[in-house]
């Protein structure tokens, strides 16, 4: 047995996002978001769930932060709801929205917890969608105006900023697959959205640098290894394409200022209309970042599939592979390989794990306990691989577990639980799960015991 110790000052934390936890959807002047609208359309979200109440974090944030403190957490990643700051199309700032986040930041600092603020975690004001959403080339400018306001208000206390959460999902799940808000199904629109998201990101990074604000700025990307399902060359090519679709399309412009040429060629050969690739905008996207956020859940398995336009691949999980209750394969070594790749292939010098976690159908026992040994196992395995990557020289400064508490899991509604803290959605009662206790201990000890089974 060995003790895995993490670097001194390693930030043990948890993550959430505004729409998933806050509730109070119509309070204190908050405007409608694309998720409020998306949830009203039957069939979009399991059981017709909405984020109207969620975990009521808007009213219970003090209680939640006190729980985080008791759990020994050192960091908390949360997001700002844009429609709380700019509720409608009139461009008037809603003071009450800024005030809420200011109180939240103060409460965290009082508890000795470092805030990591995400500026966009998918809840675009509906008023912006009504003028075309992220497909509209003016959107980056609107985003800058909003971020400017938030940074002006919180920048004296917040030192860690994340511009965008998972631009892949915002672009492709929202505008190609239609599984998330705004529910559009058009590949060229999704490419345009991805492009404008990056222009927006670039504008905010530039503003942050020019303003001389203290602290660090980064972005959170969801990256995953794509593994061919067979030894057939066409499956290997499909896996490379899948890697281009989800990983390289997002890493390359940020780090290299270019889109991957093989993917540009492939999409063009499929008749997809491409975004402008303006050289000035490409340069804007590629400004140096202080850190890269990695959201890692699993790798995925890919095979050639000519039925799927324009990607030409589909995913399937091999039989007998261990999976979580959402059917996501458990592939902890993928985290190690992705971290090494980020350093070696892209030269990324500082990484924060901005999300990592698993969905389990947790149940509360009669004596009010929630035993989730599968989540403890998932955490141990992933933190072990993270430790391995750090030993191999990758600079990872923190780990934000997804999620602090069970919450509104997008199109799965409340049916998919990711929390370290169980929420009884009928009563809003919080119960720290077995995994929450385990994680709290690991945070206190700055590590945990590991038995290598070979």
Residue 16 Rama label (left phi>0; alpha psi -120 to 50; beta)? beta
Can you tell me the distance from the alpha carbon of 435 to that of 428, in angstroms, rounded to the nearest whole number?
19
Binding part of the chain for ligand FCB, among 164-172, 181-189, 200-208, 363-371 by CB under 6 A, reads 164-172
> Would residue 107 show up in a list of annotated catalytic residues for this protein?
no
Choosing from 78, 418, 422, 438, the residue that interacts with ligand FCB (CB under 6 A) is 418
- Checking 337-345 for CB contacts under 8 A at 24+ apart, the result is 337/225, 338/223, 338/224, 338/225, 338/294, 338/296, 339/294, 339/386, 339/389, 339/394, 339/396, 340/389, 340/392, 340/394, 342/223, 342/251, 342/292, 342/294, 342/394, 343/393, 343/394, 343/395
Choosing from 4, 11, 17, 370, the residue that interacts with ligand FCB (CB under 6 A) is 17
Q: Is 410 in the site for ligand FCB (CB under 6 A)?
A: yes
Choosing from 49, 107, 355, 372, the residue that interacts with ligand FCB (CB under 6 A) is 355
Q: Is 180 in the site for ligand FCB (CB under 6 A)?
A: no
> Would residue 95 show up in a list of annotated catalytic residues for this protein?
no
Minimum CB distance to ligand FCB smaller for 226 or for 304? 226
Q: Is 295 in the site for ligand FCB (CB under 6 A)?
A: yes
Minimum CB separation from ligand FCB for residue 281, in Å?
Answer: 25
Q: Is 402 in the site for ligand FCB (CB under 6 A)?
A: yes
Minimum CB distance to ligand FCB smaller for 16 or for 94? 16
Minimum CB separation from ligand FCB for residue 317, in Å?
Answer: 17
Can you tell me the distance from the alpha carbon of 339 to that of 315, in angstroms, rounded to the nearest whole number?
22
Choosing from 14, 126, 222, 397, the residue that interacts with ligand FCB (CB under 6 A) is 222
How is residue 311 written in tokens? 């990607």
Binding part of the chain for ligand FCB, among 6-14, 97-105, 165-173, 277-285 by CB under 6 A, reads 165-173
Minimum CB separation from ligand FCB for residue 226, in Å?
Answer: 16
Query: Which of 22, 166, 281, 332 is the catalytic position?
Result: 166
- Checking 417-420 for CB contacts under 8 A at 24+ apart, the result is 417/359, 417/360, 417/361, 417/362, 418/357, 418/358, 418/359, 420/14, 420/71, 420/375
Minimum CB distance to ligand FCB smaller for 82 or for 410? 410
Minimum CB separation from ligand FCB for residue 222, in Å?
Answer: 6
Cα angle, residue 200 at apex, residues 197 and 203 outer, rounded to 5°: 155
Can you tell me the distance from the alpha carbon of 259 to that of 253, in angstroms, rounded to the nearest whole number?
5
Can you tell me the distance from the alpha carbon of 213 to that of 207, in angstroms, rounded to the nearest whole number?
9
Q: Give the binding-site size for ligand FCB (rule: CB under 6 A).
A: 12
Binding part of the chain for ligand FCB, among 50-58, 135-143, 145-153, 162-170 by CB under 6 A, reads 162-170
Choosing from 169, 171, 227, 302, the residue that interacts with ligand FCB (CB under 6 A) is 169
Scanning residues 241 to 260, which ones bind ligand FCB (CB under 6 A)? none
Minimum CB separation from ligand FCB for residue 93, in Å?
Answer: 26
Pick the closest to residue 397 from 150, 226, 159, 143 (CA basis): 159
Query: Which of 32, 107, 355, 409 is the catalytic position?
Result: 355
Confirm if 301 and 259 have CB atoms less than 8 A apart. no
Binding track over 63-102 against ligand FCB, x by CB under 6 A:
----------------------------------------
How is residue 50 written in tokens? 């909405």
Minimum CB separation from ligand FCB for residue 265, in Å?
Answer: 29
Q: Is 166 in the site for ligand FCB (CB under 6 A)?
A: yes
Q: Is 118 in the site for ligand FCB (CB under 6 A)?
A: no
Q: Is 50 in the site for ligand FCB (CB under 6 A)?
A: no
Confirm if 438 and 445 have CB atoms less than 8 A apart. no
How is residue 398 written in tokens? 């923190």
Choosing from 165, 175, 247, 374, the residue that interacts with ligand FCB (CB under 6 A) is 165
Binding part of the chain for ligand FCB, among 37-45, 89-97, 161-169, 327-335 by CB under 6 A, reads 161-169
Minimum CB distance to ligand FCB smaller for 160 or for 304? 160
Can you tell me the distance from the alpha carbon of 374 to that of 279, in angstroms, rounded to the nearest whole number?
48
Phi/psi at 72 (5° precision): 75, 20
Q: Is 409 in the site for ligand FCB (CB under 6 A)?
A: yes
Q: Is 172 in the site for ligand FCB (CB under 6 A)?
A: no
Q: Is 22 in the site for ligand FCB (CB under 6 A)?
A: no
Catalytic residue ranges: 166, 355
Q: Which residues bind ligand FCB (CB under 6 A)?
A: 17, 20, 165-166, 169, 222, 295, 355, 402, 409-410, 418
């Amino acid at each position: 047995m060995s003790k895995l110790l993490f670097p001194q000052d390693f930030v043990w934390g948890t993550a959430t996002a505004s729409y998933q936890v806050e509730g109070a959807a119509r309070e204190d002047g908050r405007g409608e978001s694309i998720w409020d609208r998306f949830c009203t359309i039957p069939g979009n979200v399991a059981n017709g769930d909405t984020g109207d109440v969620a975990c009521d974090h808007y009213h219970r944030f003090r209680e939640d932060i006190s729980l985080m403190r008791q759990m020994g957490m050192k960091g908390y990643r949360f997001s700002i709801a844009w429609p709380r700051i700019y509720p409608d199309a009139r461009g008037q700032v809603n003071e009450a929205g800024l005030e809420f986040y200011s109180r939240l930041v103060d409460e965290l600092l009082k508890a000795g917890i470092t805030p990591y603020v995400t500026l966009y975690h998918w809840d675009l004001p509906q008023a912006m969608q009504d003028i075309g959403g992220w497909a509209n080339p003016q959107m980056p400018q609107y985003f800058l105006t909003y971020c400017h306001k938030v940074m002006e208000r919180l920048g004296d206390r917040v030192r860690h900023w994340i511009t965008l959460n998972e631009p892949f999902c915002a672009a492709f799940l929202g505008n190609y697959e239609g599984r998330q808000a705004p529910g559009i199904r058009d590949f060229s629109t999704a490419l345009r959205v991805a492009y404008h998201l990056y222009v927006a990101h670039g504008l905010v990074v530039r503003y942050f640098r020019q303003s001389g604000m203290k602290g660090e700025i980064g972005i959170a990307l969801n990256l995953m290894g794509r593994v061919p399902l067979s030894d057939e060359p066409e499956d290997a090519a499909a896996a490379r394409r899948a890697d281009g679709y989800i990983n390289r399309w997002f890493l390359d412009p940020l780090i290299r200022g270019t889109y991957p040429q093989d993917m540009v060629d492939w999409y063009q050969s499929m008749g997809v209309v491409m975004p402008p690739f303006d050289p000035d905008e490409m340069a804007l996207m590629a400004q140096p970042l202080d850190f890269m956020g990695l959201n890692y859940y699993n790798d995925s398995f890919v095979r050639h599939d000519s039925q799927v336009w324009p990607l030409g691949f589909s995913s399937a999980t091999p039989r007998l592979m261990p999976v979580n209750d959402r059917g996501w394969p458990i592939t902890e070594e993928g985290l190690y390989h992705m971290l090494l790749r980020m350093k070696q292939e892209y030269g990324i010098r500082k990484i924060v794990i901005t999300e990592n976690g698993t969905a389990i159908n947790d149940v509360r026992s009669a004596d009010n306990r929630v035993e989730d040994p599968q989540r403890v196992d998932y955490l141990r395995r992933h933190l072990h691989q993270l430790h391995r990557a750090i030993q191999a020289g990758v600079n990872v400064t923190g780990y934000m577990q997804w999620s602090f508490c069970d919450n509104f899991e997008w199109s799965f509604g409340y049916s998919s639980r990711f929390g370290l803290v169980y929420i009884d959605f009928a009563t809003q009662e919080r119960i720290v799960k077995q995994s929450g206790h385990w994680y709290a201990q690991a945070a206190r000890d700055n590590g945990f015991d590991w038995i290598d089974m070979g």
